[in-house]
Each structure stands twice: as C-alpha cells, then as structure tokens.
Amino acid sequence: MTVSEAAEILDVMIASFSNQPNQFSFSVSVIGMSSNVQGGGIGALGIAQGGGIGISASADASNVHIAQEAGNAEIAKQIQLLTETLTQVSQELRAENPDKGKALGMVAAVKGKIPDVILSVAQKLIESAVTGGLG
C-alpha cells in the first residue's frame, strides 16, 4: 500500500464521521423492577404482614435523559477528537517527507479516548504504507 492510498482511506473514514456523527450514540432505558430466575424458584417475593407494601419499585426517567444527553455530548467530543486526529495523520502522510513515527504517535496519543478498532485500523494503514520517504 502506498502512503497516498493510506491517506485516502483515512480521508474516507474522516468523511464518514463528519457526515454521520450520530453513528455512535449512548442510550439508556429505565426498568422499574426486574427479576430473573435461573434453575427454578422465586424471582421476587414481597410479603407485607400487617398491611403495607410488599414490594415497591419506581423509576424516574428525568435522570436517564440527563445521563443520555451527557453521554451523547461526550461521544460528540470524541468524534471531534477522532476526526481532528485522523486529519492530522492524513496530512502527515501527504507531507513531502512523511514521518511514520510522528503519524503513529498521533494515533497513540488518543488511545483510550476513541474506539480501539478505529485506532487499530489507522495504525495498520500507517504501518502498511510503503516506506518510500516514510521514515
């Protein structure tokens, strides 16, 4: 693979994230009470002796909406970081004297902040690029 081909593939990835930033999202659902049983038996039992409530379960969706919005905001930040990083890597690969170490360093700098599968693909593209001028 040539350096130019690697840069072109990165550009396609960048365009995908820029054009469809919602391809990653965070969703939360609320369950008031859930009971699972494996191997038989009683999943949940509520007995009220002398009156009262045996089991009470409630869920408030307002906290869920706040958590979901915060999660999606964080994902948007990560997508922005991802597109900026991949753009820098693509530009480095197109430089007159591209530096493989510098490009790999850019990818390594965001490890843990964006999905590993994307970083792995970017790393492999850089490493597979023909070393013509790539030091």
For residue 108, is it within any domain?
Answer: yes
Please indicate, yes or no, if residue 55 is contained in any of the structural domains. no
- DSSP H helices, the chain, are 3-19, 61-94, 100-109, 116-128
Return the axis-axis angle of helices 61-94 and 3-19, rounded to nearest 10°: 160
Q: Is residue 42 part of a domain?
A: no
Tens digit of pLDDT for each residue in 76-91?
888 889 899 999 999 9
Determine, yes or no, domain membership for 54: no
Of 70, 86, 77, nearest to 28 by C-alpha is 70
Q: How far is it, in rounded angstroms, from Cα 30 to Cα 39? A: 26
pLDDT grade, residue 54 (50/70/90)?
Answer: low
Write out the residue range of the structural domain in which residue 96 sits.
Answer: 1-19+66-135
Q: How many structural domains does the chain have?
A: 1
Domain annotation covers residue 83: yes
Q: What is the dihedral of CA 29, 20, 75, 25, to 10 degrees?
A: 10
| 73 in any annotated domain | yes
Quick check: is 81 in a domain?
Answer: yes
User: What is the pTM assigned to this prediction?
Assistant: 0.65
